[in-house]
A and B are shown apart, each in its own frame.
Chain A
Amino acid sequence: MRWLIRPPVATACRLLAAAALLLAGCSSSQDPQTLTFWTFGREGEAVVKLLPAFEREHPGIHVNVQQLPLSAAHQKLLTAFAGNSTPDLCQLGNTWLPEFVAIKALEPLQQRVAASTAVQPDDYFAHIWSTNLIDGTLYGVPWYVDTRLLFYRRDLLKAAGFDAPPRDWAEWRRMLAALSHPDRGTYGILLPTNEYEQLMSLALQQSEPMLRDGGRYGNFRSPGFKRALSFYVDTFRLRQAPAITAVEAGNPWEEFGRGVYAFYFSGPWNIGEFRQRLPANRENEWATAPLPGPDGGVAGAAGGASLVVFRRSTHKDQAWALIEYLSRPDVQQRFYDLLGDMPARRSAWDGGSLRTDPKVQAFRQQLENVKATPPVPEWEQIANEMQLVAAQAVAGELSVDEAAAEMDRRADRILEKRRWVLDHSRATEAAP
């Protein structure tokens, strides 16, 4: 009989306790010291391990980390902005930054950086830092960085008679030719035709920007872009890369390991992937190299994520304290050890595993020479259209000149509203 009565009592007690906890939870979310921090992808798993130390240093602040899948992040952020429910701070890809600045969602951070001892702009990779400046105002602090470069099979290159990775496009082309045997199903490189980052990286190596007149019109008909597009399209026409999408490529890591591709054009997260998927005794067979420039030199696309504070946040000081903490070189090193996301600060690279790991040196070299994508909110859409047209050129439906003209036409159409807004706001500002 006792046993029959007791469980419901215990359950009721537990329910009461849960309700009390829930109430406590509600009241603490109104507490000015609870920060909402949105992260995307795997960063959230790693950052929660860094937060206990922060909360010990700032006993009054509790950080509530919410992890969102990367594929839904953009939509979720815009919906939150439209619904007036943005977090206090979040990580934001630096190519997304212009868009959120354009909708006035972000808090300028210039003054806080100037007053800060923890965040030293000089210590950051200069070009990465500059991606956070929109019209001269700072809106984010770089958190981690990435850039796409070449992973290559050292042993395959050696067998083909090359001792070093390519230094310019001509040499790269010779290596691709020597390593491609489409009849045997092996190719020099994998360039998924649905990813724009590869072509964009080649285009950023040119002196001409991809948009002109302050981002009012496309500039894809410039000689520089056409050179990049020709190189890209030729790689497929010469059958040095298969014309497949990432969906069809399936598992590129295993295939790279089997020698299906001698080069793989991708970002730093793949160091971990390759270490995990390829046997440890083959570690010396693959290496990384900076992206060769058209005539030598090094350049690539500036990628990565920054930490931003939202304009509607009511805890901006606390959010800034968290940004300062996450920007400390020792915390950045721990973050790298946890996840492999590369630190944005040079001093974080001078110690720990980053200094000794040969695979990351190419990234450091290229990070000093990266270039930002055009800082317009429409860039992602334009880059997508650029890739769609480029894929048509790869399929042989368009010549390089036709493709460039089509890209300009599509970019100009997408930028129509931007031109109107720019001219309109100038007119209203000039009127009073």
Chain B
Amino acid sequence: MKRPSAAWWFLAPAMLVLGVFFLLPVVAALALSLTDYDLYALADIRHLRFVALHNYWDLLHQPAFWSALGHTLTFVVVGVPLSIMVSLGMALLLNSPLVRCKSFFRTALFAPVVTTVVAVAVVWRYILNTKYGWLNYVLGLVGIHPVDWLGDPHWAMPSIILFAVWKNFGYNMIILLAGLQAIPADLYEAARIDGASAPQQFRHITLPMLGPTLLMVAILTVSGYFQLFAEPYVMTEGGPLQSTTSVLYLMYNEGFKWWNFGMASAVAFLLFVIMFAVTALMLRLGRRGATA
């Protein structure tokens, strides 16, 4: 009887902090999402209405929400595999015994992760500029007409994906590099003696050994990419024609721009539900893959 109560005393500080700074805000936000808390309610609490699930209902009937969700999903579906492929490719290159100046490349490739989005966005906006940008200049040399990268609704999202992948791949690369270095070298040695080619070694040794790391990287990247906000915020302000407005951007606009906190909380909870479902699905698929 004594021992469990002692344990609770040890846990209490952490529980208190978690409760006050994590649980309480979440519960408050959930309650808020069932009301129409806005400017009028801020001025006079009698203007607050309990609207039950009306915010959610309203959101699900708004084309703006669906298009924002569509943009976010596009970003996740295209961006995540691209990001993981680039990180894996770079990690394999850095892990190769043939590469010189490893620490230099490791630093260089990790640098975008460390720099702030706002600072690199300035550079990228210059690179992607329609008239004076380097990218169009280079494309012009091979006879391709200038593309309005950030101003054309069709190109804005690919540009944002490109920018985000470039910005974030270094983080995954470092994790995957650590995973690669944990694979025992004698496995490759044995495979080489058995006459396995490099692709065969990659397929039958590297990928299975890297499996758990890859799953973790995938889950981290998916949940990170679902929360797309900073990139469109600094690159396109959600435009053109809202083609880069993500779900989180929508939440920011509703909450902090228009002060519709009820609606903004509803957006946050819908996004949470979606992310929770996707992560659970990925974990289940990962577990099945591991047992099979």
Interface on A for B, CB 8 Å cutoff?
Answer: 74-75, 78, 81-82, 99, 102-105, 193-194, 244-245, 247-248, 250, 377, 381, 388, 391-392, 395, 417-418, 420-421, 424
Chain A residues with CB under 8 Å of B125's CB are 247
Enumerate 19 A-B pairs (CB-CB under 8 Å) in ascending A order.
A78-B39, A78-B42, A82-B42, A99-B39, A102-B39, A103-B40, A103-B43, A194-B237, A245-B151, A245-B236, A245-B239, A247-B150, A247-B236, A248-B129, A248-B130, A248-B150, A250-B131, A381-B258, A424-B47
Chain A residues with CB under 8 Å of B259's CB are 78
User: Chain A nearest CB: distance from B127 CB in Å?
Assistant: 13
Chain A residues with CB under 8 Å of B240's CB are 193-194, 245, 391
User: Chain B nearest CB: distance from A432 CB in Å?
Assistant: 15
For the complex, what is the distance from the CA of A263 to the CA of B273, rounded to whole Å? 50
User: Chain A nearest CB: distance from B65 CB in Å?
Assistant: 13
User: Chain A nearest CB: distance from B26 CB in Å?
Assistant: 20
User: Chain A nearest CB: distance from B148 CB in Å?
Assistant: 7
Closest A residue by C-beta to B149 = A248
Closest B residue by C-beta to A185 = B131
Other A-B pairs, 14, CB within 8 Å; known A250-B129, A377-B39, A395-B241:
A74-B257, A78-B259, A103-B40, A104-B43, A104-B44, A105-B43, A247-B150, A247-B151, A247-B237, A248-B129, A391-B240, A395-B153, A420-B49, A424-B47
Contact B150 A392 (CB under 8 A): no
For the complex, what is the distance from the CA of A418 to the CA of B38, rounded to whole Å? 11
User: Chain A nearest CB: distance from B50 CB in Å?
Assistant: 13
Contact A102 B43 (CB under 8 A): yes
Closest A residue by C-beta to B62 = A413
With A194-B237, A194-B240, A388-B242 as known contacts, state yes or no: A244 contacts B39, CB within 8 Å.
Answer: no
Chain B residues with CB under 8 Å of A421's CB are 40, 47
**7 tightest A-B CB contacts, nearest first:** A103-B43, A248-B151, A244-B151, A381-B258, A421-B40, A104-B43, A194-B239
Chain A residues with CB under 8 Å of B130's CB are 244, 248
Number of A-B contacts defined by CB within 8 Å: 67
Contact A417 B38 (CB under 8 A): yes
Closest A residue by C-beta to B236 = A247
Chain A residues with CB under 8 Å of B256's CB are 75
With A75-B256, A244-B151 as known contacts, state yes or no: A417 contacts B40, CB within 8 Å.
Answer: yes
Chain A residues with CB under 8 Å of B239's CB are 193-194, 245, 247, 391
With A194-B239, A388-B241 as known contacts, state yes or no: A103 contacts B151, CB within 8 Å.
Answer: no
User: Chain A nearest CB: distance from B71 CB in Å?
Assistant: 14
For the complex, what is the distance from the CA of A392 to the CA of B240, rounded to whole Å? 10
Chain A residues with CB under 8 Å of B47's CB are 417, 421, 424
Chain A residues with CB under 8 Å of B151's CB are 244-245, 247-248
Closest A residue by C-beta to B258 = A381
User: Chain A nearest CB: distance from B244 CB in Å?
Assistant: 11
For the complex, what is the distance from the CA of A388 to the CA of B243, rounded to whole Å? 11
User: Chain B nearest CB: distance from A409 CB in Å?
Assistant: 11
Contact B241 A392 (CB under 8 A): yes
Chain B residues with CB under 8 Å of A392's CB are 241
Closest A residue by C-beta to B44 = A104
CB proximity to A under 8 Å, residues B232-271: 236-237, 239-242, 256-259
CB proximity to A under 8 Å, residues B32-56: 36, 38-40, 42-44, 47, 49
Closest A residue by C-beta to B128 = A248
